[in-house]
């Protein structure tokens, strides 16, 4: 079927392996995503905290630079688990905004244009479709969260020495797990909402709402009932607790009941929900997202 030879011919050439076919979707999606200069600029901006992190690590180990800047090493933030946790959380915030821009149209656009039959009439399953769409978000977010964080961790280990690496290897696993949990949640939620809502703006609004409305509601519950169990419905609080647990900074006792002026009005110690509850709640959210995707990602809706 050459351009000059207008006749129909079968394709006899080599085929790509089955396992790699879902990666076709992110490859084509990135071309579309980075067409927007505004998004490209924002994505580049997301790496700014990492640059600051790298500079701080570098300064800790460069006496000459400290001398020039007339800064005492003790005045700098210590490079420990809290240091990495702070930057993991910061990058998580940027990851949320990148998801808001990239995630919502991924499935909704296909649903709006009846494109699903075109994907699914090929040797391409529904699971591969979902994996492909999710990997658009996962690859982008990985590039700005755990991948650079682990590189900076290795940079710190290189400057500090082998013993520091051995003693703090758990921080690397905490960086990896906390980031992966967060970006996986973002990817799943954005795809589930995208499958439910056909319009991009509405889907972005819904994603924003799913994080903020339960947080506000949870905080109201906390204030009214003098408890911290309201956090169980706040996705932000759940992931924050999980992250704190992984970095060893999680404390169940967080404070006392306060009034509007911030004065302590009760001596009742309020406890954060235990960590396993946060994990369980997160699993439930992920299961719901997968159920929505399973129900909505179909070539055709059957009206029985």
Partner 1 sequence: MATAATFEQEINLHDPKNFAPVIDLNDLSVNFGKRQILKGLRGELRGRAIGLLGPNGAGKTTLIHTLLGFHAPSAGTAHIFGKDILTDAKQIRSLIGYMPERDSFIAKMSAVHFVRLMAELSGLPPEASLERAHEALFYVGLGEARYRSLDTYSLGMKQLAKLAQAIVHGPKLIFLDEPTNGLDPPARARMIRLIREIRDSGQANIVLSSHLLRDVEECCEEILILKNGYLAVYCNLEEERKSNRKFLVLETRGDDAKFVEAIAGLGCEYALTGDHRLKIVLTEGTEVRDLYRIAAEQNMQIRRLSYKRDSLEDIFLKAMENGNGSL
Q: Which of 41, 123, 251, 262 binds partner 1 (CB under 8 A)?
A: 123
User: What CA–CA distance (Å, rounded) separates 293 from 124?
Assistant: 16
Question: Biggest alpha carbon distance in the chain?
Answer: 86
3-class DSSP state for residue 271? Answer: strand
Residue range at the interface with partner 1 (CB under 8 A); choices 65-73, 182-190, 229-237, 295-303: 295-303
> In the set 21, 42, 164, 211, which binds partner 1 (CB under 8 A)?
21
Give yes or no for residue 32 binding partner 1 (CB under 8 A).
yes
Stretch that binds partner 1, among 171-179, 190-198, 251-259, 294-302 (CB under 8 A): 294-302
Contact partners, residue 179, CB within 8 Å, separation at least 6 = 88, 91, 92, 142, 145, 146, 149
Closest distance between partner 1 and the C-beta of residue 123, in Å? 4
> Residue from 115, 201, 271, 288 that binds partner 1 (CB under 8 A)?
115
Residue choice 87, 96, 119, 182 for contact with partner 1 (CB under 8 A): 119
DSSP structure string for 211-259: HHHHHHHHHHHHHHHT-SGGGGG-HHHHHHHHHHHHHT---SEEEEEE-
Structure tokens at 27: 């490859």
Residue 302 found at the interface with partner 1 (CB under 8 A): yes
Within 8 A by CB and 6+ apart from 192, the residues are 288, 289, 290, 292, 293
Give 23's DSSP letter: G
Q: Please identify, using beta-carbon distances, which residue of 71 and 295 lies nearer to partner 1.
A: 295
- Does residue number 19 form part of the binding site for partner 1 (CB under 8 A)? no
Q: Is 122 near partner 1 (CB under 8 A)?
A: yes
In the window 165-204, what residues touch partner 1 (CB under 8 A)?
Answer: none
For the chain, how many residues are written? Answer: 304
Question: Which one among 45, 71, 77, 118 touches partner 1, defined by CB under 8 A?
Answer: 118
- Interface with partner 1 includes 14 (CB under 8 A)? yes
Which residues here bind partner 1, judged by CB under 8 A? 1-3, 6-16, 18, 21, 24, 28, 32, 109-110, 112-115, 117-125, 298-300, 302-304
């Amino acid at each position: 079927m050459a351009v000059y030879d207008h006749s129909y011919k079968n394709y006899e050439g080599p085929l790509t392996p089955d396992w790699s076919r879902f990666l076709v979707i992110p490859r084509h999606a990135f071309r579309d995503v980075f067409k927007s200069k505004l998004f490209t600029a924002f994505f580049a901006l997301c790496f700014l905290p990492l640059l600051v992190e790298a500079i701080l690590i570098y300064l800790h180990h460069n006496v000459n630079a400290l001398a020039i800047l007339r800064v005492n090493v003790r005045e700098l933030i210590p490079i420990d688990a809290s240091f990495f946790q702070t930057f993991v959380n910061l990058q998580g915030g940027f990851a949320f905004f990148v998801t808001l821009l990239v995630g919502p149209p991924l499935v909704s656009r296909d649903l709006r244009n009846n494109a699903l039959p075109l994907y699914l009439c090929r040797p391409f399953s529904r699971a591969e479709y979902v994996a492909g769409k999710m990997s658009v978000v996962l690859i982008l977010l990985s590039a700005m969260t755990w991948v650079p964080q682990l590189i900076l961790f290795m940079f710190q280990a290189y400057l500090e020495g082998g013993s520091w690496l051995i003693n703090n290897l758990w921080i690397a696993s905490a960086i990896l797990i906390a980031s992966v949990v967060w970006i996986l949640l973002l990817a799943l939620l954005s795809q589930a909402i995208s499958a439910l809502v056909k319009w991009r703006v509405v889907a972005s609004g819904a994603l924003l709402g799913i994080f903020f409305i339960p947080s506000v509601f949870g905080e109201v519950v906390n204030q009214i009932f003098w408890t911290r169990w309201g956090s169980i419905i706040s996705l932000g609080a759940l992931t924050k607790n999980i992250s704190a647990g992984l970095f060893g900074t999680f404390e169940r006792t967080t404070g006392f009941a306060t009034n509007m002026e911030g004065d302590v009005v009760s001596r009742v110690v309020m406890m954060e929900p235990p960590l396993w509850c946060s994990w369980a709640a997160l699993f439930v959210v992920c299961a719901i997202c997968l159920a929505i995707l399973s129900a909505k990602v179909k070539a055709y809706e059957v009206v029985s």
